[in-house]
Amino acid sequence: LHSYIEYIYLFDAVYTNEVAAPTSAWNDVASKSINSLNNNVSELWFGAKDNIYALNNIINSADEVLPAGQEKDEIIAQALAIRSYLRFQLLNWFGNFPLAFGIKANENATQASQQEILTSIESDLNTATSSLPDTWQNGENYFTKNTALFLLARVKLFNNDWQNVLELANM
């Protein structure tokens, strides 16, 4: 997941011309002349989907493999927050996509509407914020409650839900 997050930042930076294309394979991204056959675009799509399936596995199996308690709740909250981030990225890059909650890439998920995707993201983030701490010990780089709330505000902004954006910004 860590290397994929770095890839997301690189893709965005090259696409917005904040950094130069690191190799000629990135020239289409830098010039914004990419299509679905571009390897960098495929990496964005399949990397996000693979990570979402792994996160679904964590979320779906947590009750069976983790003892009840705060640590389990925090692990699930992290998985929900990261899944929300990846789904929001997919929505921004590709538009509507199938919402998968299972652990297999070949599951028969149907195309979801933008509203269904946003509702799912908001639900995951609302659930996550109830178990995420304000800070992590040792300065760990995990989602905190405020990070999840910030992402929720961005989702609300994307959805033109100005009143809730204002409320979240004032928390």
- Taking alpha carbons only, the member of 78, 93, 92 closest to residue 142 is 78
Question: What is the token pair recorded at 45?
Answer: 């799509």
C-alpha to C-alpha distance for 10 and 22, rounded to whole angstroms: 9
Helices (H) and strands (E) in the chain, counts: 7, 0
Would you say the C-alpha torsion 100, 106, 107, 113 has a positive or negative sign?
positive
For residue 127, the Cα-to-chain-centroid distance in whole angstroms is 15
- pLDDT per residue over 78-87, tens digit each? 999 999 999 9
- pLDDT per residue over 6-56, tens digit each? 999 999 999 999 999 999 999 999 999 988 889 999 999 999 999 999 999
